[in-house]
Structures are given as C-alpha cells and as structure tokens.
Structure 1
Amino acid sequence: MCTRFIAFSIAIGASLAATPGRAETLNLLIWESYIDQKILDRWTDKTGIAVHQIFYDSSDARDEILSDPASNIDLAVVGETTADLFGKRGILEPLTESNAPSMKDYKPEWTSRCAGYAMPYLWGTMGIAYRSDMVKTTPASWSDLMSPAPELKKHVAMYDDHNEAFIAPLALLGKSINTNDSETLKAAFELMKKQAPFVLTYDYVITAIQNPEFRDNIYMAIAYSGDQHVLNDKAGTAGVWRYVVPKEGTLSWLDCMAVNAASPRKQLALQLLDFIGSPESAASNATALNMPTASDRALDLIAADMRSNREIYPPAEILAKSQYQTELSVQSIQTRRRIISAMANFQ
C-alpha cells in the first residue's frame, strides 16, 4: 500500500504542475469512472474552467492525499465517516444552502450523513460481483465469497481497505461491520485466512481488472453496487458481470462530495460542486452511471424503469439488513491493517 501511494503521489505532483498561460483548472479527487464526463464538459463549456480528475482506488489512499496540505486538491469524493472526521479537522469546507444552493434538494437524512461538510453524491451497497459465464450458480450468501467453490481458487478478488475488507467476514459472522472488539476481529481473521488461498488479488476489482495479469482470471469479487457496469465496460461484453447483495445483509454506503477548505480556488470549487449537485446534473450522472441519486428533485427526472431496478435501488428488505459505517477506534484500524498485511502469508 505504501509503495502504491508513493508512486501515486509523484504522479499527482507531476500532473498538477502549473503550466504558464494555462486556463484555470479545478482538481477533483475521485474514484475512476465515477462521474459522467459529459457533466464536466458542460461545466467547462459554461465557465471555461477545466476539471482535472485524479483517481484513487482505496479510501486509505484518498484520505492520505487529502490530508496533505500540498496536494492541490479542490474537490474530493469522500465517504461519510471521512466527511465528518476531516470536516471537524478543518480540512473540508462547511456546506450550507448559502454556499451550495443545491443542498436544499437533499433530505436531512442524507445531508446529516455528510455531517455538514459535504453534499450527498451517490449511494449504494456492497456485495458480490461475479462473471455469469464462469459462475453458474448465483451467489446468495457471503459464504459463497468467503468459502468459495474449489473451481474458484485463484479467481477471487478481495480488497485491502481496512473498512471494506471486513464487510464480508463480519456480516457472515452476524457482527457489526464497525466492531472495535479484538475477539470479533480475530474471528474475522480466521475466515479471511481460510479464504486467502482462493484470492488472486487484494486490489480493488476495478483496478485489478485493468491489469493484464488478472484481467481474464477474476470470476468473483467483493464490489460496490454499480461496479458491475464498469466491469462490463472493461470486459466489452454487456451483462457478463452481475451483482448481488448477500442474504446476511451488508454495508449501505453514501459518498459525499466535498470542497477542500485550503483550496486557492475555493469559490470556483463550490460553484462546481453546486453544478454537479443540481437536479439536472445529478439525474444525468446517476443515469449514466446506473447508480442511485440522493437528490429528491433529481429522482423525479429519472426514468421509472431505472427507479424500479432492484439492482440499482435496493428493496426495503435489503436496506433493513444493511449497516452504515461509523468511525473506528485507532486500535481497531491498526488491528485491521495488520490482518490485511498478513493475508499474503496465507495465499
């Protein structure tokens, strides 16, 4: 993880170097393939201001970049716990309807989860993505991922993030995904050790699928809802990748878009955030990405067949069994990271 981040930081520094005579540019820190480029193009056409996307592939890498005062980031897509923590640390600009008028289109149950320091962006679940041409029986339980069938050996992709890596084992154990209890984490460790020989990679599946070494050998992966559409695009075969939420329940996540309080282009960043969060942009973005929006007014602009798609908008019974992420203790984070680092010993 450290090696990847050092290389990533160097790339960011090079990409954000000032160029004489270059027009104003805003720097957006975001997951890959996580915003419709047409929205950013419309913004540039309207304002003359370009948007440069910088990609991360884990929340740990994102948070380390955002913590760096020299990162030159203007906006970032963050998780709800990061919005709260980094907002309280003064890294993120407080948001209200005064500096981001589109906030009025989001219900308090959404905006409260972004803690007053970010705008709700997209939401969803975590589950199992699988190749329907290679996995003939639809996964139904986290045990299908944690105790895979023999033919899936070295065909599973997991994720080395200290939060998301524990979703599957903790949900399978019937425990809180936010546990700080060392005995519960040890039990999760035992499940992860048994699974490790089946794991091909611990890179985020969207990153891994672009690696020629892994591309054709990943048949099942832990994934966010919506990842299946990106995977299908990468595979060039519509519908081959599918997504399910296991019966035990899962993470219900919310991503928030925030403005870096130290941005020298803060007012422009706030204007871009408001543009992205407007009903028209939020609706077209959700439609293009096949993901659910948190904006009430945007939802009214989305086609009925998309709103009724259970893969995009999970049914109430799934959401009822889902958990939100909350801030973990320092000791819990350290224990989780040690466990993840140890997985290579059991592969």
Structure 2
Amino acid sequence: MTKAMTKAAFIAVMMCGASGAAFADKIVISNWDGYMPPELLENFTKETGIEAEMSVHATNEEIMGKVTAGGGKGYDVLFVSSPFAEALKKLDLIAQLDPAKIPNLANLYPEAQKLEYDPGNTFSVPYAWGTTGLCYRSDLVSPAPTSWMDMLKPADALKGKITMLKTDRWLMAAGLKALGYSVNSTNEEEVAKAKELLSGAKKSLLAYDDTTFYSKLVSGEASLVHAWDGWCNYGIAENPAIKFVVPKEGSDMWVDTMTVTAASQNKDAAMAFINYVLRPDVHKWVAENILYKVPNQKAMEQLDKAMFEQYPNLAITPAELMKEEQLRDLGNGQKLYTQAVTEITFQ
C-alpha cells in the first residue's frame, strides 16, 4: 500500500469520513521524556503516513516558556498539565478542537468529559490523570503514613530519609493541603503559612527530587517520598514493599493533556494524532507502558486485572479521583508560588 493510500484509508476510518481534511506530511509533538511508548510515533506513521517528530520538554514551565516566546510556531501537539493548558488557552496559544475530527473522545470516562478547567474537552484532551501523595517503603516505615504531616513534621527515624517534589504547584500543594487550604489558593496569608511549614520541613529532607525519588526508595536511601501516583509505580515494579497513600487531608487531582497549538499549520493531522492515542488499544498500551491511569474508559476496561493487583493506585476510580481538588490556572497568583518555592528551596 502506498503512503498516499495509507493516509486516505486512515482519514476514512479514523476521521469518520470528514471531508476536506488537509493532512501534513509531518507534525511536531512536545512531550515529557518517557511519557509514551517509544514505538507509538513510529506506529502512528505506519498507519497514517503522517510523520511525527518528538521534541522533549522537562517541565511544564519549560514548554510554556518556549511557546509563549515563539507563539507556538514549530509545534503542533503539546502535552501539558491542565493548569498550563488553561493558561495557554487564555493566551490564545492553543486551538479550539473539532470533536468531529476526534471521534474517539467518546471513549473517555464521563468524568473526563466534564473537567472543571475545560468542560466538553473544547481545547484539551486528557491523556493521563491521577493524584499526588506519599510513596513509602512499608518494610521501613511504621506505622504507615496517613497525613501530610508525617512528611512535613516527621518522626526522628524518618529525618534525612524523605524527598519532596520541587515543582511549584506540587510542593506548595503539600503545604496548603496539610493546613486545610485549597491547592489553588492565591490568598497571600495562606500561601505564607504554607511556605513557613514547608521551610521548616526542609531540614528533615534528604533532597528535593522530581525524577529519581523512586530509585531512592528502591535502594533504601529514602524511606518516604512525595510522589505522583504513577511515578510511585516505577518503584513498586522493583520492590512490592513500596506502597502509595493519599493523605487524609486530601490532595490534588492532576490531568496531563494533549493540545493543538493555535500556530500549527497541521491542525487536522494533529487532531488525527490525538484521535489515534484515544483508540482503546493504543491508550491501553500507553497505560501498560507508563504505568499511569488513563482517562479512557474502554482502554482501562481492557487492562489485565493483574495490573490492578500489582499497582493498586491504578484501580483508583474516576469517582474517587474526582473527590480530590482539580488543579487550576492561578493567573497572576502563580508568582506567589514561584517566589515562595524559590525562597524555600534556596534559603
């Protein structure tokens, strides 16, 4: 089959016969390193004839800076967390999506179609979702942690054996939730109190660590780490004594999304890529590879039930997840968080 025939067949099957679609020969996708199966882009190209190039960003802030500086030119699909998708939309840097070109939106859980920051998935499509909590060695920590304070005001045995996430939203969320405040608070007094609590916790830390905390648990260098639920699974894969718990005070609900840049000259191809990811067999494959929950009901229903036994946080239901507080764009309030985290981590 020729490349042109492959592309035509894909348009007919995946785009439900949408007419006039102008597909590019290449799209550029920016995502976190290791956040999709390595063969996904290759398989997408084989099926569609649309070449896809990966550009890696380390943080939301990094890709946000690049897109705002360049107007989004040079990118077609951005993977960003929901507050950043919301912020980019307010800046008119990401495009409105055409649901007729993404029919696999129907595979999402109903809850994933009614998210506070984008009801109806008008400018973003959830790719993975979850919450943040305490990931710990159950053979080294007793009693099991139940509160943010177990990390922020730890027992002597845990001092020097704890890591925390350094990223602004998640470091501040731990302090805010521990004090009973919103993860989206822009109240200066509340942010100041959370900063004070987090500053005091610093002396008990082994490190701030957003990337290798699970390996510190596996080695025993750390006993308790602040972690995204999916990333905790990387540790569980190597040591079943590693467990994950959402603190009793509650936590955030994070959503990592797929968006199309407003500057993209290849919007139909970009939406075809999103539609491909949302195919149940593809999104199931994603979940199996990255060990994060995906908001695709048909994909999650196809996962081997043994995975839920090995990684219990994969079994957190959408209804349970929605009880946590959804992260929102803070607008100018983000400056409060950035300043607080800078002062906490560099003082």
Give 1:195-274 correspondences, 5 Å limit: 195-204=201-210, 206=211, 217-231=221-235, 237-239=238-240, 241-274=242-275
Q: Report the CA distance shift for 1:207/1:74 in structure 2 as closer, same or farther (over 3 A).
A: farther
Secondary structure of the residue that 1:285 maps to in structure 2? Answer: helix
User: Conserved in 2, the CA contact under 8 Å of 1:180 and 1:329?
Assistant: no
Correspondence list, 1:74-89, <5 A: 74-89=76-91
What is the correspondence of 1:44-55 to structure 2 with a 5 Å cutoff?
44-55=45-56
Q: Which residue number in structure 2 is paired with residue 294 of structure 1?
A: 295
Q: TM-score, normalised by structure 2?
A: 0.79
5 Å matches for 1:18-37?
25-37=26-38
**Equivalent-residue separation in structure 2 for 1:57 and 1:151 (angstroms):** 33
From 172, 180, 185, the equivalent of 1:179 is: 185
- Could you tell me which runs of 5 or more consecutive residues in structure 1 were left unpaired when the two chains were aligned: 1-22
1:156·1:218 contact (CA, 8 Å) conserved in 2? Answer: yes
Q: Deviations over 1:299-329 (max 9, x none)?
A: 3323345468641132589546511112224
Contact 2:25–2:50 under 8 Å retained in 1: yes
C-alpha deviation, 1:253, in angstroms: 1.6
Residues 324-343 of structure 1: pairs in structure 2 closer than 5 A: 324-330=326-332, 332-343=333-344
Residue 163 (structure 1) aligns with = 169
Distance in 2 separating the partners of 1:209 and 1:290: 13
| CA distance in structure 2 between the aligned counterparts of 1:208 and 1:310, rounded to whole angstroms | 19
**C-alpha separation between the residues in 2 aligned to 1:276 and 1:84?**
21
C-alpha offsets along residues 176-205 of structure 1, whole Å, 9 cap, x if unaligned?
11111111111111211110112233341x
SS of equivalent residue, structure 2 residue 200: helix
Residue ranges of structure 2 left out of the alignment (5+ in a row): 1-23
Matches of 2:243 and 2:306, distance apart in 1: 18
TM-score of the superposed pair, with normalisation by structure 1: 0.79
Q: How does 1:102-117 map to 2 (within 5 A)?
A: 102-107=104-109, 109-113=111-115, 115=118, 116-117=122-123
Give how far 1:256 is off.
Answer: 1.3
* Distance in 1 separating the partners of 2:212 and 2:266: 30
Offset of 1:143 from its aligned partner? 0.9
Q: Secondary structure at the match of 1:91?
A: coil
> What is the aligned partner in structure 1 of residue 276 from structure 2?
275
